[in-house]
Amino acid sequence: MSNRMWGGRYETGPAEIMEEINVSIDFDKRLAAPDIRGSLAHAAMLGATGILPEADVAAIRTGLETVRGEIEAGTFTFSRALEDIHMNVESRLRDLIGPTAGRLHTARSRNDQVATDMKLWVRDTLDGLDGQVADLMSALAEAALAHADAVMPGFTHLQSAQPVTFGHHLLAYVEMLARDRGRLADARARLNECPLGAAALAGTSFPIDRHMTASALGFDRPAANSLDAVADRDFVLESLSAAAICAIHLSRFAEEIVLWTTPQFDFVALSDAFTTGSSIMPQKRNPDAAELVRGKSGRVLGALQALLVVLKGLPLAYGKDMQEDKEGAFDALHTLSLCLAATAGMVRDMTPKRASMRRWAGAGYATATDLADWLVRVLGLPFRDAHHATGRLVALAFARNAGLEELSLDEMRSVEPRITQAVYEVLGVDASVRSRTSYGGTAPENVRAQAQGWIDRLGKPA
């Protein structure tokens, strides 16, 4: 008996290990909805062009809708012997409508079919991720507006640098996520060409209407080259690249949450909703949600790297290696979705500890730059001279184990005789952040305007 899937060329089934390495239904059943959607569009086109009689198209349409209902209801039986989602759907369609089911595959191949399915799945997933990124941006912008004047230390090299505000710090992540959103949108725009009708690699001799199927499936146009249409996985790579950069941003923020919730920093608190306890230390409140976001970024980066390696040596057009695009993409984009949801939850849950942040905002002589700027602005010193004088004053304060604002005027004048009492007005952390009024600076009035601007933009439909 010939193999039902491969037809007369094969007389027996595959070896057990061949089936194990070849089978994809365990993961590509996620493509069931786009597979049926693509098949419905293909069948409608075959009918409109006269390639199939309308009676066959109607039977195929009814059968596919039945299969879709069974899958959605959870009553569909997926068979590993049928290898993939395409053959599982077609086999069940044959059970329902008989040999007419075989006409559905006219003028197409599993090569253009799977490329179309994958594009539809990635496109839908990118749309969902876009909404999640926007939601996280909204959460951050709302928190930034609420805490626009909460002073905290700003760091470089994880050393105290200059005072900033908590709202300003949160808005930095809004900007990062806005770029992530742009990259996801770019990936979506570039993938929106339809492979269906490219067949195995060379197109087809049937008089198909590829523009019809492209339009029915929401694509901008058909893919222009049949070889590229079935060989292209750039859209997966680009989506994973955008996802990887976004995951890095989430990981950086998660790392800050981990630091901020330690007793040593004590900048923010998370509730029971986003922390866990210890099995042995009853006092512990561990920021596990943040740690998992930080850790899961590796899965997203790994999926990108794995697919780059798979594709780097493949000749045109299709190779079974390309089956390896799916598990990594499914896992990575699901992981990113989970991390976005968890991060948005933590942002809405966390409580900034204003007093603690303020206490450390001036630590490490964080207002030294304000002093240098005052020497330039008021006394007219060249900045390099002001920098040198300020460094000497920092050394003097350090020797006394005192803050800059604790030095007496006489001590100040021992370094620069023209310093006046007015210098003390710039040495407080509140004065420092208020003075940073340049565009993009940390002044509370800037932060409020930027945060409100983002809230307004994100509240409007794209």
The active-site residue, picked from 2, 79, 271, 278, is 278
> Residue 284, SS3?
coil
Task: Round to whole Å and give the CA distance between 100 and 418.
Answer: 96
C-alpha distances in angstroms, 162 versus 22, 146, 369? 58, 21, 7
- How wide is the angle at C-alpha 27 spanned by C-alphas 23 and 29, nearest 5°? 95
Q: Is 157 a catalytic residue?
A: yes
**Which of these, 297, 328, 305, 296, lies nearest to 118 by C-alpha position?**
328
The tokens of 380 are what? 């007219």
Task: Round to whole Å and give the CA distance between 348 and 311.
Answer: 41
Q: Other CB atoms closer than 10 Å to residue 428's CB: what's the count?
A: 17
Q: Is 147 a catalytic residue?
A: no
**Which of these, 362, 162, 356, lies nearest to 262 by C-alpha position?**
356
Q: Other CB atoms closer than 10 Å to residue 409's CB: what's the count?
A: 12
**Contact of 416 with 379, CB cutoff 8 Å:** yes
C-alpha distances in angstroms, 385 versus 268, 382, 396? 39, 5, 17
3-state helix, strand, coil in the chain (%, to 5): 65, 5, 30
Question: Residue 61's Cα: distance from chain center in Å?
Answer: 36
**N- to C-terminal Cα distance for the chain?**
57
The active-site residue, picked from 24, 157, 205, 408, is 157
Task: Round to whole Å and give the CA distance between 161 and 364.
Answer: 8
Residues annotated catalytic, as ranges: 157, 278
